[in-house]
Amino acid sequence: MDVTLDPQARTFIEVAEVWVPQEGRLVHAQGSYGALDGFAEASARESFAKGEGLPGKAWAEARPVVLKAFDGSYFKRAEAAKEAGLTAAVAIPVFAGAELKAVLVVLCADDAERIGAIEVWAETDGLLMLEDGYFGAAKHFEWVSQHTHFPIGQGLPGGVWAARTPMLMRDLGSGYRFVRAESAGKAGLTTGLGLPVPVPGSKTYVLTLLSARGTPLARRFEIWDARSARVGKTGAALLVDGTCARDGRLWDADNPRRAAAWEGPIGTVLGNGLPLVLAGNPAQTAGYDSLVALPIHQAGELAFVIAWYC
């Protein structure tokens, strides 16, 4: 089995964990904590009521929530997070219609070098505005993003909004004009993954993950299309787009890779409709250390699975 490229580079996301509702509370289901054993232990013990802590807030408010400072906030594991050097977190609720399936939480560590962006875009008055985001050291890009808005169909967030599908964009900063390309290029951002975050009600949310080469948010991205309009009622999914630092392009228009329900990590997500975090099994994670796979439930079905590997 091949091993990860340049493993010495620290990734942008340090921790990913899945919380699932059980008897009215969110309980810990899985997590990838790297070497942060203390925080892992503190998390395994934790659970959240609706509205409580970061996962509970994402559930109660039915929206992705970004938290950039733990001290004095509603974040329950602040002490353990501080010890682990974690400084920011994003909680992404996974709804199937009105039902909360799970909350995916990712946590990042702050330092002067780490570049990347996790952005939450929300629709206001017919435009997508940056609701919140975590940008690490990409301060200028953060400022540009705060002052950019997207009409439907435009740019990565607007494209995701219009097409109601996840989208992957390459070479953000070079060659051509990603709407925020100039600043993205300066920040070293290379790859962007945008995905719709369906929530109950009429609000539109789009999440974007922007990855930089030096401190990659992920080294491999995949978009799997599971809509019955595409694959029939098979419960399977087709790999419609993807990019990998090692394997290059991951799409094959003539002969797309297929994941069957319950087969492999993507199959597991297709089968149970829950996010999946896997670590320590390179055989299952394309040779990388960890995998985060996130289902998108839309129009009464599991429509897409997006996966990133670091």
Partner 1 sequence: MKKLVVIGAGMASGRMLEELFDTAPGAYAVTLFNAEPRGNYNRIMLSPVLSGEKSYAEIVTHDDAWYAANAVTCRFGEAVTRIDRARKVVVGAQGEVPYDQLVIATGSAPFIIPVPGRDLPGVITYRDLDDTNAMIEASGKGGSAVVIGGGLLGLEAAAGLRLRGMEVTVLHLSGHLMERQLDEAAGFLLRRDLEHRGIKVMTKASTTAILGDDRVEAVLLEDGTTLPADLVVMAVGIRPETRLATDAGLEVARGIAIDAQMRTSDPDIFAVGECVDFNGQLFGLVAPLYDQAKVLAQTLLGAEAVFVPKELSTKLKVTGCDLFSAGDFAEGPNREDIVFRDPGRGVYKRLVIEDDAIIGAVMYGDTADSNWFFGQIRDGADISTLRDTLIFGPAFQGGAPVDPMAAVAALPPEAEICGCNGVCKGTIVAAINGGASDLAAVKAQTKASASCGTCTGLVEQVLASTLGDRFTRKAVQPVCGCTELTHEDLRRLIKSQSLKSMPAVWQAGAWKTPDGCHVCRPALNFYLLADWPLEYRDDLQSRFINERKHANIQKDGTFSVMPRMWGGITTPDELRAIADAADKFAVPTVKVTGGQRIDLLGVKSEDLPAIWADLNAAGMVSGHAYSKGLRTVKTCVGTDHCRFGTQDSTGLGIKLEKALWGSWTPHKVKLAVSGCPRNCAEATCKDVGIICVDSGFQIGVAGAAGMDLKETERLGQVETEEEAIALTIAFVQLYRENAKYLDRPYKWVAKVGLDWVKERVVDDLAERQRLIDAFAVSQSVYQKDPWAEHVRERSEQYKPVNLSGFAAE
Q: What is the DSSP-derived secondary structure letter of residue 284?
A: T
267 belongs to the binding site for partner 1 (CB under 8 A): yes
129 belongs to the binding site for partner 1 (CB under 8 A): no
Among 54, 241, 274, 279, binds partner 1 (CB under 8 A): 241
At its nearest, how many Å lie between partner 1 and the CB of residue 239?
Answer: 9
Looking at the Cβ atoms of 137 and 167, the one nearer to partner 1 is 167
Site for partner 1 in 30-59 (CB under 8 A): none
230 belongs to the binding site for partner 1 (CB under 8 A): yes
In 10 A of CB 283, how many CB atoms?
A: 7
Q: CB-hemisphere CA count at 13 Å for 229?
A: 6
Among 38, 74, 258, 298, binds partner 1 (CB under 8 A): 258
Three state DSSP letters for 193-221 = EEEECCCCCCCCEEEEEEEECCCCCCCEE
**For residue 214, with 0-12 CB atoms within 10 Å meaning exposed, 13-18 middle and 19 or more buried, which class applies?**
middle
298 belongs to the binding site for partner 1 (CB under 8 A): no
Site size for partner 1 (CB under 8 A): 57
Among 72, 98, 202, 232, binds partner 1 (CB under 8 A): 232
Residue 136 bridge partners (DSSP): 115
Among 137, 168, 184, 303, binds partner 1 (CB under 8 A): 168
Q: What is the DSSP string of 59-101?
A: HHHTS-EEE---TTSS-TTHHHHHHHT--EEEEEEEEETTEEE
Provide the edge-to-edge strand list for the sheet that holds 149-150. 149-150, 127-136, 115-124, 205-212, 189-196, 167-169
Scanning 50-58, 68-76, 103-111, 165-173 for contacts with partner 1 by CB under 8 A, the matching segment is 165-173
Residue 307, CA distances (Å) to 96, 132, 152 in order:
18, 22, 25
202 belongs to the binding site for partner 1 (CB under 8 A): no
Looking at the Cβ atoms of 7 and 85, the one nearer to partner 1 is 7
Among 85, 124, 163, 203, binds partner 1 (CB under 8 A): 163
200 belongs to the binding site for partner 1 (CB under 8 A): no
At its nearest, how many Å lie between partner 1 and the CB of residue 84?
Answer: 26
- Would you tell me which residues interact with partner 1 (CB under 8 A)? 1, 151-156, 158-159, 162-165, 167-171, 175-179, 181, 228-235, 241, 243, 248-249, 251, 253, 257-268, 271, 280-284, 299
